[in-house]
Amino acid sequence: MKQLDHFAGFPKQTVTFLRNLRANNSKAWFDEHRGDYDQYYVTPAKAFVEAVGKKLARLSKALVAQPRINGSIYRINRDIRFSKDKTPYKDHLDCLFWEEDKKSSPSALFFRVSPDGVLIGAGAYACPDLLKKLRPAITHEIFGKELAGIAKKLRKGGLEIHGKHYKRFPSDFPTDGPAAEFLLHNSIYVVKEEPVALAQSTDLVDRCVAQWKIMLPLHAWLINHG
């Protein structure tokens, strides 16, 4: 598949491959269809990341896009060492764009395409240590008010900050601040769900960048205080 200057969307075979993988999640099936994986998963994912990378500077010059597996493109192999689910492969394609160091970045922009649809999001997912580190900022008179204002604006636009996890507030932080609700989170992220047809659209990259621009204040708050 030739990579174009303008990303024309994922081919329909990408979702077909993921759907078939969901129904036949085994090494034998995957090995038999490795050509489809290379042609319809790896190649278009690299082209997508390259196209996104050219436009990320509009959001932040610090954002990183690496068009390779284990760069911005997640491996399709699942980590099954500590999971009851021993199916070896993910039935979705994930991409990540971060600032500075991938492992330590407090927030990232992310993208997923699966047979169920497209997800465009930003924030910190399942990072309990980070959220504990963020608690002083969450309860800070100024920074907490900033976060509450970001959440309010996102909600007005139909987006919700996800990640509530704990049932009890931490005992050593005040719970009457404007952003106190986020003390109960072990993740802070926002996600926009789109129909799977968007993955094949020539407007996919622009739609992603437009959504990330809306989400950027949350991303920036997490970067500044994480």
Q: Residue 186: give its domain's CATH number.
A: 3.30.930
> Has residue 139 been placed in a domain?
yes
Task: Report angle CA 46, 204, 222 to the nearest 5 degrees.
Answer: 80
CB-based burial label for 141 (10 Å; 0-12, 13-18, 19+): exposed
Which neighbouring-strand residues pair with 164?
Answer: 185
Is the per-residue pLDDT at 3 higher than 50?
A: no
Query: Radius of gyration (Cα) for the chain, nearest Å?
Result: 19
What pLDDT score was predicted for residue 2?
42
> Has residue 55 been placed in a domain?
yes
- Across the range 191-197, mean pLDDT stands at 98
Say which DSSP state 2 is in: P
> Has residue 175 been placed in a domain?
yes
Axis crossing angle, helix 141-156 with helix 204-225, rounded to the nearest 10: 160
- Across the range 42-59, mean pLDDT stands at 96
Within 10 Å of residue 170's Cβ, how many Cβ atoms? 13
Kindly report, residue by residue over 74-109, the tens digit of the pLDDT.
999 998 887 888 899 999 999 999 998 888 889 999
> Has residue 54 been placed in a domain?
yes
> Has residue 3 been placed in a domain?
no
Contacts with 43 (C-beta within 8 Å, 6 or more apart), sequence order: 1, 3
CA distance 19 to 21: 5
- Domain hosting residue 102, numbered range: 12-225
Count CA atoms closer than 13 A to 94's CA, side-chain side: 16
pTM confidence score: 0.94
For 19, 48, 51, 173, 206, the CA distances from 54, given in Å and listed in that order, are 30, 10, 5, 42, 11
Is the per-residue pLDDT at 28 higher than 90?
A: yes
The number of folded domains in the chain is: 1
- Across the range 170-187, mean pLDDT stands at 95
pLDDT above 90 covers what percent of the chain? Answer: 86
> Has residue 2 been placed in a domain?
no
pLDDT above 70 covers what percent of the chain? Answer: 98
> Has residue 95 been placed in a domain?
yes
